[in-house]
Amino acid sequence: MNQEFKPPRGKISQIKGKCISLIGNDIDTDRIIPARFLKCINFDSLGESVFEDDRELLRGKHPFDKEESKDASILIVNSNFGCGSSREHAPQALMRWGIKAIIGESFAEIFYSNCIAIGIPCFTLPKNSIKDIQKYNDNKNLFLEIDIENSFAKSKDLNFKLEIKESSRKMFLSGEWDATSTLLENEKLIENKFNDLPYLKFNSNYL
Amino acid sequence: MQVSQNTLFDKVWDLHKVSSLPGGSDQLFIGLHLIHEVTSPQAFGALKDKNLKVKFPNRTVATVDHIVPTDNQSRPFKDNLAEQMIETLERNCIEQKIKFFNIGSGNQGIVHVVAPELGLTQPGMTIACGDSHTSTHGAFGAIAFGIGTSQVRDVLASQTIAMNKLKVRQIWCEEKLSNGVYAKDLVLHIINRLGVKAGVGFAYEFAGPAISALSMEERMTICNMSIEGGARCGYVNPDETTFRYIKERLCAPKNKNWDKAVKWWQSLKSDENSIYDDVIKLDASKVEPTVTWGITPGQSIGINQQIPHLEDLPLNDQFIAEEAYEYMGFKPGQSIKDTPIDVCFIGSCTNGRMSDLRVAANVLRHQKVSKKVKAFVVPGSEKVANEAKQEGIDKIFKDAGFQWREPGCSMCLAMNSDKLIGNQVSASSSNRNFKGRQGSPKGRTLLMSPAMVAAAAINGKVSDVREFINK
């Protein structure tokens, strides 16, 4: 786990790092961070508890405990990763452990949008490509350089194209993934909408 | 490529669209924002860091549900962390002038039970909450979806979020549910048939005669579990059943406004010539009481079926099935019926409402819970609890041997002290059977309808509830 955590800020165009593979479909956010760790009013200490129960059961053999995964920052997963609960604690825990990008066959929707909102790019690849990369990484630790502008990953002897939603790609390159200020630029339009919505007229201020 | 046109989803989305953002997603206005203690503190913190205030405080409503103890709710809570979380929410709501339904207000409870009860949830709204089961509110013909904490921050600051428009899949349910088969069985059946990730990128429109025949509470059960099918949002077109439910509730439009509201709500439903990105049809009369056997909500079978063999499953489902056999300790080909049960839980935002408690109580009347079973019922809200007491339903549960608890999320996700121990097996009316979900890393969950949980409690094993109600 990285000792000093600095959240990403601004434009994100490149991510470099060691890969860590986590095999399995439908890995839900309860497994990524069990509910008991949600009893907190900030995300600071979540990194150490990521996959706590799975790691406990595997006693040192979980990918997140292996010596060769130390300092890894690019997570390689299979299908429907992050399904279940909407808890942002899940990507926050991964990020605080050291994950900066995820490559997978597919992602659950809310998990994906949480990752974008906190600055973790998620890329997709077909099932067999993911399996190949996971196998490769098991044999020779893969170190990737991801270029977001061109959706491309490079390593010593493996280069491949990555898929990313166009809107997400643009948001990382422009820094708009950190959405609040962009949204507030349209303050006038928001107020117009507030004044125009039919139900806000027939629902008087009851609260 | 989006093709849907003139569906309720299209109409409500377009109405709430504020702008097209440079990246290509839409800026969507959120008509009603619901918050609770678990996913909001960091959002308020971020707001403070950015020196921002809540933009429209009266469009956000708060309650406390995930961490509340269900045995003793006196303050301070025994659990210091839980106490710290409720205090933080109390302070944030006071500072930002947000209405908070606290314990003892008469309106506290699971956020997805409370908002409909108050009449806050209405057709045509966009509703967001830092909770994946926000899809529940779609039962009213609202576009409702779960968001993460950073998006909670964005809604507090701007009343909007950045989001890509979803595609729309209609799930048309023919015929009607047979006796002893409930909304929970239908939604488990749908998730099994389509898979747990089929809904990614889609809103689910539940329609057809079997859906129209359902009460609002049953529709809420269906929409609630859209997310278990991968769909962030699920909805039912509003009709007379919807309007009857809302009328006279605390926050419902009143007098002349009521007529205006109904007229507008009627205009929202998907047009007859609307276009969907996909349509699925199924026959609801063929659905049996359904039970999950695995570790995803898609791994379910009818009560009289056997746990599937690997070779009978699609290739993509085989990997997780092997994981499930091992974790659950089940063998392929084994019957789910007669599986011994240790704990029975009735409650949650899926099945913790008045009609759920009534159905379970009807099964439990003059019956006793098996001595081997710990059974408890957690009403979805203070209102549900009070109404149940007035009807004497609490007494039926207690006489049968159920513990009657205070409202909250409880063992649906086990953030309080209601947890499985070791590898106990629970029969649960909740929504998720993930590994470790109910508080023990080895705990095993079988999802089913509240009526089926009641039957399991009596026999101490998975049972067909139709044997009780058809006697």
Q: In this complex, how many residue pairs, one in chain A and one in chain B, have their CB atoms less than 8 Å apart?
A: 225
CA distance B34 to chain A (A): 13
- The answer for B 86-115 residues in CB contact with A (under 8 A) is 88, 99
Question: B100-134: b or e for each residue (b if 16 or more CB lie within 10 Å)?
Answer: bbebeeebbbbbbbbbbbbbbbbbbbbbbbbbbbb
Nearest to B81 among A25, A39, A113 (CB): A39
d(CA B410, CA B34): 19
A182/B253 Cβ within 8 A:
no
**CB contacts, 8 Å: A121 with chain B:** none
Question: Are residues B49 and B121 both part of a single domain?
Answer: yes
Q: What domains does chain A contain, in order, with CATH numbers?
A: 14-178 (3.20.19.10)
Q: What is the interface pTM, i.e. ipTM, of the complex? A: 0.96
Give the tens place of pLDDT for each residue, B336-357.
999 999 999 999 999 999 999 9
The answer to whether position B3 is within a domain reads no
The answer to whether position B27 is within a domain reads yes
Question: Are residues B109 and B195 both part of a single domain?
Answer: yes
Question: Are residues B255 and B118 both part of a single domain?
Answer: yes
Question: Are residues B366 and B430 both part of a single domain?
Answer: yes
CA distance B148 to chain A (A): 5
Nearest to A206 among B124, B251, B436 (CB): B251
Indicate if the pLDDT at residue B232 is higher than 90.
Answer: yes
**CB contacts, 8 Å: A110 with chain B:** 132, 145-148, 227, 232
Question: B50-85: b or e for each residue (b if 16 or more CB lie within 10 Å)?
Answer: eebebbbbebbbbbbbbbbbbeeeeeebebeebebb
**CB contacts, 8 Å: B197 with chain A:** 26, 79-80, 83, 106, 108
Give the tens place of pLDDT for each residue, A48-94.
999 999 999 999 999 999 999 999 999 999 999 999 999 999 999 99
**CB contacts, 8 Å: A33 with chain B:** none
Question: Are residues B169 and B317 both part of a single domain?
Answer: no
Q: Which domain holds residue B388?
A: 290-469
Indicate if the pLDDT at residue B98 is higher than 60.
Answer: yes
Contact B223, B236 (CB under 8 A): yes
d(CA B135, CA B129): 9
Give the tens place of pLDDT for each residue, B408-424.
999 999 999 999 999 99
Question: What is the pLDDT at residue B3?
Answer: 84
B441/A110 Cβ within 8 A:
no
The answer to whether position B164 is within a domain reads yes
d(CA B216, CA B220): 6
The pLDDT-based confidence of B2 (bands split at 50, 70, 90) is: low
**CB contacts, 8 Å: A202 with chain B:** 253, 257-258, 260-261, 264
Choosing from B250, B266, B282, the residue where a domain stops is: B266
* Range name among A76-80, A167-171, A199-203, B337-341 with the lowest pLDDT average: A199-203
The answer to whether position B185 is within a domain reads yes
Question: Comparing C-alpha atoms, which of A188, A163, A168 is closest to residue B21?
Answer: A168
Question: What is the pLDDT at residue A204?
Answer: 64
Task: List the CATH number of the domain containing B309.
Answer: 3.30.499.10
What is the rounded average pLDDT of the residues B93-122?
A: 98
Backbone angles phi and psi of A77, in degrees to 5: -125, 175
Indicate if the pLDDT at residue A3 is higher than 90.
Answer: no
Question: Are residues B261 and B407 both part of a single domain?
Answer: no
Contact B437, B414 (CB under 8 A): yes
The pLDDT-based confidence of B221 (bands split at 50, 70, 90) is: very high
Nearest to B200 among A106, A179, A187 (CB): A106
Choosing from B199, B231, B266, the residue where a domain stops is: B266
The answer to whether position B279 is within a domain reads no
Question: Are residues B227 and B332 both part of a single domain?
Answer: no
- DSSP class of A69: G
The pLDDT-based confidence of A189 (bands split at 50, 70, 90) is: very high
The pLDDT-based confidence of B97 (bands split at 50, 70, 90) is: very high
What is the rounded average pLDDT of the residues A109-132?
A: 97
d(CA B258, CA A202): 8
Question: What is the pLDDT at residue A33?
Answer: 98
Nearest CA in chain B to A79: B197
The answer, for B15 touching chain A at a CB cutoff of 8 Å, is: yes
The answer to whether position B273 is within a domain reads no
What is the rounded average pLDDT of the residues B296-319?
A: 96
A57/B200 Cβ within 8 A:
no
The pLDDT-based confidence of B471 (bands split at 50, 70, 90) is: low
The answer to whether position B281 is within a domain reads no
